[in-house]
Amino acid sequence: PAREPILSVNNIEVVYDDVILVLRGVSLDVPEGEVVTLLGPNGAGKTTTLKAISGLLRTENGEVTRGEVRFMGENIANMAPEQIVRKGIFQVMEGRRIVEDMTVVENLRLGAYTRKDGGAAVKRDLEMVLDYFPRLRERTGLAGYLSGGEQQMLAIGRAMMARPKLILLDEPSMGLAPLLVKEVFGIIRKLNKELGMTTLLVEQNAKMALGAASFGYIMESGKIVMDGEQQDLLDNEDVKEFYLGGG
Ligand code: ATP
């Protein structure tokens, strides 16, 4: 059989405020070196699934009440988010959340704050990230002046600076013009191909997401309702009708 996936979410239930059941038994696998996408409509529970993995659920009074989040063989469900970051999982939140009154480079350096390897390695990675995002290299002012697409790129670049083993991307296409969506997804593909960046990608833009991912899960009302290889999902009639805009 294949190697154990780096991340394996097993039948998790998630509850907010002790009573609101939002995930009703969600399971998914992310093999090392792959881009896996989690698709589904608004409110399906995609963001909640990412937060259950990154531990950020705890900051919203949410809890994994059943099941396991196995990362590199260890159950990390309900661990503190700082601890999970140190294990190598980095979440890029929806809405980007860069620091607007810092420069691009300062924001990128922030991403490296958990690293123990020294300044030289961080500097090398800074150059590498700026090579992947040439638009960012040109922007020397404060990050608050960047366009939406550039802020999204900065958020992804900042995550890369942490050298994560797994990156969780929440709707990178949100609020971006079509051309920028293409550019951002092109970079996600490139990061995966060239650096082997393992990514769990939450998206409402199924077409773009399935262009970058090798495997996909579809979630509705707190459950996975379908999964499959990229091409099988792209060819599936229901997926075409409900998620790919009829072709
Ligand atoms: P979106 O694309 O809108 O982010 P989603 O699929 O990511 O949708 P979630 O944000 O995970 O969905 O939300 C799933 C459900 O959980 C929704 O019904 C939402 O109202 C509820 N929910 C989310 N966050 C909380 C919270 N902090 N407290 C209570 N309920 C919440």
pLDDT tens-place string over residues 118-156: 788 999 999 999 999 998 999 989 999 998 889 989 999
Mapped onto helix, strand or coil, the DSSP state of residue 208 is helix
Q: Quick count: other Cβ atoms within 10 Å of Cβ 145?
A: 11
Report which secondary-structure segment, H or E, holds 196: none
Tokens for 214? 């090798």
**What integer pLDDT is reported at residue 96 of this predicted model?**
66
Q: Is the CB of 163 under 6 A from ligand 1?
A: no
For ligand 1, atom 19, name the residue with the nearest CA: 43
Distance 48 CA to ligand 1 centre (A): 6
Give the span between the Cα atoms of 56 and 170, in whole angstroms.
13
Q: Which of the 8 DSSP states describes residue 103? A: B
Q: Letter for the amino acid at 164?
A: P
Instruction: Look at residue 1 and tell me whether its pLDDT is greater than 60.
Output: no
What's the longest Cα–Cα distance across the chain?
51
What is the ipTM score, two decimals? Answer: 0.94
Written as six digits, the tokens of 204 are: 């409402």
Structure-block tokens of residue 196: 């082997």
Express each pLDDT in 33-82 by its tens digit.
Answer: 999 999 999 999 999 999 999 999 999 999 999 999 999 999 999 999 99
Which ligand 1 atom lies nearest to the CA of residue 171?
Answer: 2
Q: What is the DSSP letter of 88?
A: T
Taking a C-beta distance cutoff of 8 angstroms, is the pair 69, 23 a contact?
A: no
21 close to ligand 1 (CB < 6 Angstrom) = no
Residue ID of nearest Cα to ligand 1 atom 4: 47
Give 84 Cα–ligand 1 centroid separation in angstroms: 21
For residue 219, give the amino acid letter: M
The three-point CA angle 186-235-39 to 5° equals 55
Residue 50 CA, closest ligand 1 atom number: 11
Q: Nearest Cα to 226, choosing from 236, 214, 218?
A: 218
Instruction: Name the residue with the closest Cα to ligand 1, atom 20.
Output: 43
pTM score over 0.90: yes
C-beta of residue 34 within 8 angstroms of C-beta of residue 8: no
Quote the CA–CA distance of 85 and 110 in Å, as a whole number: 13
**Residue 20 CB–ligand 1 contact under 6 Å:** yes
